[in-house]
Amino acid sequence: MGSVRNVAVFGAYGHTGRFVVAELRERGYVPLLLGRDQDKLLALAQAWPGLEARRASAEDPASLDRALDGAVAVINCAGPFATTAAPLVEAALRAGIPYVDVAAEIEANLDTFDHFAERARAAGALVIPAMAFYGGLGDLLVTTAMGDWTAADEAHIAYGLSSWHPTAGTLASGTVSGQRRGGRRVRYTSGRLEYHDDALPTLEWPFPAPLGPQSVIGEFTMADVVTVPSHLAVPEVRTYMTAKAAADLSAPDASAPAAVDGRGRSAQTFVVDVLVRSGGKERRVAAAGQDIYAISAPLAVEAVDRILTGRTRTTGVASAGAAFDAPDFLRALSSHLSLHVPLDTAG
Ligand SMILES: NC(=O)c1ccc[n+]([C@@H]2O[C@H](COP(=O)([O-])OP(=O)(O)OC[C@H]3O[C@@H](n4cnc5c(N)ncnc54)[C@H](OP(=O)(O)O)[C@@H]3O)[C@@H](O)[C@H]2O)c1
């Protein structure tokens, strides 16, 4: 028997899943700890006395149905999502509950839109892929920067990461995405995804103070190229990554994030700087914070809270910017994110 506060977390013992479990608890929800490994689940349940652990496998629909019994929503933190997203969305639709994931895999995010848009809409259900740092935050910032514009010529999303110590899940997802695109690169231009083999350009991006100008890799394409065009008419969506963080990610000896504070956050800091252009006008907004994995938890949990309290704008498969009041959503995260809206470019 579930409670109206039971939110299932698939992949609960992963690095991001643990942040999500902690955030749900802080927000007064009762996380159901879901995953495929019984020993890891039991170890996690020992760390969180009183929480229920339920073993479930993406390959076994009946186990997912049992695991979601009594849950009011599910947050999928188990990646690679090429394997887990579709079975979990199917299970959420069977259970009649909203589905949110933290996937940063372009192809998996596209699959969620392509395969489930009609069924989710017909069921009046909400399915939100990429409700995390990549894909979610960028889309909320672009939507906020757009303001009353319904279309723009270009959207640029520059990631100013101080460093990037990737988790095993990030590396595995990168490998799966790379295989799915046959080792090719991808960018979003002329209103569509384009696969190519061009070298990635290095340029300087003028991040707001105190970070200031940084060397970035251009066309470092992230999930925002799925989420932003899913609801905004912007034919050019470009994403950039600080060269230092890009080098960290691809280093052969890349190490996992190390906790430096009581919340388990690493020392990594980020600025996400968004610039949209339309007819010669520019609008800009940026957000800064600490630890891209940790910030994904308040993003996903805020989304669930808004869905469960009826503060949504649509049904079906939707990105963060389409599903929610983007500026209001970002303001609600003020204890995790500092927003920067320069007056000289607003208008
Ligand atoms: N969009 C974003 O900004 C964002 C932010 C954070 C994380 N993510 C993504 O979230 C995923 C998890 O990241 P993480 O940092 O939590 O990595 P992690 O610490 O390595 O955890 C990965 C989790 O996924 C589970 N998992 C993997 N394959 C599974 C499968 N086939 N069935 C069931 N569970 C499976 C793992 O369980 P086992 O230990 O049993 O394998 C583990 O719980 C990655 O894909 C990452 O890219 C995206």
**DSSP of 9-26, one letter per residue?**
EETTTSHHHHHHHHHHHH
Closest CA to 128 of 153, 165, 99, 105: 99
**pLDDT tens digit sequence for 34-87:** 999 999 999 999 999 999 999 999 999 999 999 999 999 999 999 999 999 999
Residue 142 Cα to ligand 1 middle (Å) = 26
Asked if residue 15 has its Cβ within 6 Å of ligand 1, the reply is yes
pTM above 0.95, yes or no: yes
**Ligand 1 centre distance from Cα of residue 10 (Å):** 9
pLDDT at residue 342, rounded to an integer: 72
Cα–ligand 1 centroid distance for 88 (angstroms) = 14
- Residue 171 CA to ligand 1 center (angstroms) comes to 10
Among protein residues, the one whose CA lies closest to atom 20 of ligand 1:
169
Residue 16: both structure tokens together: 């991001």
Query: Distances in Å between the alpha carbon of 319 and those of 112, 147, 199, 207, 313?
Result: 11, 17, 30, 25, 11
pLDDT recorded at residue 284: 97
Four-point Cα dihedral 95, 101, 106, 110, nearest 10? 30
Q: Cβ atoms within 10 A of the Cβ of 190, count?
A: 7
Return the best residue to mutate from 105, 170, 255 for the ligand 1 pocket (most ligand atoms within 8 A of CB): 170
227 Cβ inside 6 Å of ligand 1: no
Q: Which pLDDT value is given to residue 4?
A: 72
Alpha-carbon distance 179 to 160, whole Å? 27
Q: Is the CB of 135 under 6 A from ligand 1?
A: yes
The Cα 128–Cα 347 span in angstroms is 30
The pLDDT value given to residue 1: 42
Residue-level pLDDT at 343: 54
Q: Which of 63, 84, 167, 290 to mutate to test the pocket of ligand 1 (most atoms within 8 A of CB)?
A: 167
CA-to-CA distance for 63 and 80, rounded, in angstroms? 19
| C-alpha 283 – ligand 1 centre gap (Å) | 34
Q: Does any ligand 1 atom lie closer than 6 A to the CB of residue 36?
A: yes
Q: Is 5 helix (H, G, I), strand (E, B) or coil?
A: coil
For 288-318, what is each residue's pLDDT tens digit? 999 999 999 999 999 999 999 999 999 999 9
Query: What residue's CA is closest to ligand 1, atom 11?
Result: 79
Listed in sequence order, the DSSP H helices in 96-185 are: 106-123, 138-146, 168-180
What are the tokens at 33? 């700890």
CA of 309 from ligand 1 middle (Å) equals: 27
CA of 183 to the centre of ligand 1 (A): 21
C-beta of 168 in contact with ligand 1 (< 6 A): yes
Nearest to 238 by CA among 255, 216, 254: 216
**Ligand 1 pocket check for 76: Cβ under 6 Å:** no
> From start to end of the chain, where are the E strands?
6-10, 30-35, 53-55, 73-76, 99-101, 126-128, 154-161, 185-189, 192-196, 202-206, 213-217, 236-242, 269-278, 281-290, 316-317, 338-340
- Which stretches in the chain have pLDDT values below 70? 1-3, 343-347
Of 169, 210, 1, nearest to 79 by C-alpha is: 169
- How much distance in Å is there from the Cα of 341 to the middle of ligand 1? 33
In one letter, which amino acid is 3?
A: S
